A and B are shown apart, each in its own frame.
Chain A
Amino acid sequence: MKCVKTTLKGWKEIPEGCAITEPGSSVNFDVTAWRTSSPVIDQNKCTKCGMCFLYCPDSAIEIDEAGNYRVNLSYCKGCGICAKGCAPKAITMVKEGH
């Protein structure tokens, strides 16, 4: 078990004007440990309607070069909204082994 320690920056170190100047800094936050289950997409059932992509509150659904929908597990918190919203029932929430 590793304990993650966050160092808070002082007022002189943070960018001026309540800004985040580095784009995409949310990748620095690991949210994978939040999940109890993760979505698994059955590509045979998927109609590529895109509802999971729209519903996902964390933008964890991505579209690969072949046009297939994939789950980026570094963002997925396992809420299951994608599975609920999937009309052809192509997404199943599978419990993770903790």
Chain B
Amino acid sequence: MARRVGISGNYAVAYAVKMADVDMIAAYPITPQTTIVEKLSEFVANGELDASYMNVESEHSAMSACVGASLTGARVFTATSSQGLALMHEILFMASALRTPIVMANVNRALSAPLNIWNDHSDAMAQRDAGCIQLWVRSAQEAFDTTIEAFKIAEETRLPVMVNLDGFILSHMYEPVELADEDEVRKFIPSRPLENRVSTKKAHAVGVVGPPEYYYEMKYQAIDAIEKSRLKIKEIDKEFNSRFGKSYGEIEAYGMDGAEAALIVMGSIFGSAKEVANSLREEGKKVGVISLRLFRPFPIQEIRRAVEGIKAVGVVDRATAPGGVGNPLYNEIAAALYDMPERPAIQGFVAGLGGRDIRQDDFRLMYSATEKAAREGAGRCIYVGLRE
């Protein structure tokens, strides 16, 4: 029986990983991720989870150990944040090209300097091109459900899946979560042997040199896999819905009926953005908000459909791409909408860096700047809440 409990986002992830009955966990503690693996190590220590828990000396080793374990066919999990994810950087590219279905929770935190343990999206954005599937959750409930879906997505696409949850705002916030029944979860993601895995019974070389004659083809396999994962992700979400009665989609559009201006956001700010949109709509403003749950592969068609007929979109980035055309999410949206016959004006925003609270007034400002862009065209990127 499903049960409703009050737990933090991190614990929601830990419960999902336990129910997924992972075989191996390798991680290195880092705030604000630590309580995920702390809880998991507790499950392993008290016998609630039969898994090998590997203490490693760094995140580079954690991801390396996960790749090795995954190549043997084990179901593996790791979690990290910020500098830890940065230290995994080179191994992430290997994890995707070696087609290891690793599930990792990345509890989003700003990258140094200055040293900062609070939330923004700079860590995950810096891993944009590593070939990992990136899912972004908006509540502790979604962290639980998405982590379960992630194991199925990873194993069916044989690609690493990064589940992103906002540091502190989700990771440490206690809120209601309906925990699914463990047996049901195991039926949804049964353990089954993967093909082409390393074993002591059959010699098999992995991580071989890919000379110029073969690198391209080997790399393209991983590119093709993440392209094709779009369909799998949809199917798995549908299957999740039929079993658990919940579905999240690639994006979620809110209040878009008759909307002229819409914000596009990722992560936990969706709730606050919805709340402010509600009050603005009561004031007669035609505003809506779109949230991306999927960032890699990028939901191009879904975004295009959602903004059809909209005069302006405001893209809220919680990360920067200094010296670039725009910031990471802005660039993706701009590229996705570029060849629409009638594309909306695209206003860029940066907000909430390094844990700065994005307040209701900040949302009002962003909505009204997007409405202004609908009338007069978009201006330069607005750094919301930045002191002069």
Contact = CB atoms under 8 A, between A and B. Distances in A.
Interface of A: 8-11, 14-21, 23-24
Interface stretch (B183-191, B207-215, B228-236, B323-331): B207-215
A24 B326 CA distance: 51
Interface residues of B, number: 22
Contacts of A20: 204-206, 208
7 contacts: A8-B214, A11-B217, A11-B220, A16-B221, A17-B97, A17-B98, A19-B206
Contacts of A18: 97-98, 206-208, 210, 218
A15 B218 CA distance: 9
Contacts of B205: 19-20, 23
Contacts of A15: 196
B335 interface: no
Contacts of B216: 11
* A-B residue pairs, 10 tightest by C-beta: A23-B203, A17-B99, A11-B217, A20-B205, A11-B220, A19-B206, A17-B98, A18-B218, A16-B99, A21-B204
B203 A24 contact: yes
A8 B213 contact: yes
A75 to B, nearest CB: 17
A11 B221 contact: yes
Nearest to B222: A17
Interface of B: 97-100, 158, 196, 202-208, 210, 213-214, 216-218, 220-221, 224
B99 A10 contact: no
A16 B158 contact: yes
A17 B196 contact: yes
Contacts of A11: 216-218, 220-221, 224
Contacts of B214: 8, 14
A17 B158 contact: yes
A25 to B, nearest CB: 8
B315 to A, nearest CB: 34
A59 to B, nearest CB: 15
A68 B221 CA distance: 47
Nearest to A19: B206
A10 B220 CA distance: 10
A15 B204 CA distance: 11
Contacts of A19: 98, 196, 204-206, 208
B301 to A, nearest CB: 25
A21 B224 CA distance: 21
Given A16-B158, A17-B99, A20-B204, A10 B217 contact: yes
Contacts of A8: 213-214
Contacts of A23: 202-205
Nearest to B204: A21
Nearest to B223: A11
A24 B202 CA distance: 11
A9 B211 CA distance: 13
A22 to B, nearest CB: 8
A92 B99 CA distance: 48
A16 B98 CA distance: 8
B198 to A, nearest CB: 9
Nearest to A20: B205
Nearest to B224: A11
A23 B205 CA distance: 8
A8 to B, nearest CB: 5
B92 to A, nearest CB: 15
Nearest to B99: A17
Given A23-B203, A23-B204, 20 more contacts: A8-B213, A8-B214, A11-B216, A11-B217, A11-B218, A11-B220, A16-B158, A16-B196, A17-B97, A17-B98, A17-B100, A17-B158, A17-B196, A19-B196, A19-B205, A19-B208, A20-B206, A21-B204, A23-B202, A24-B203
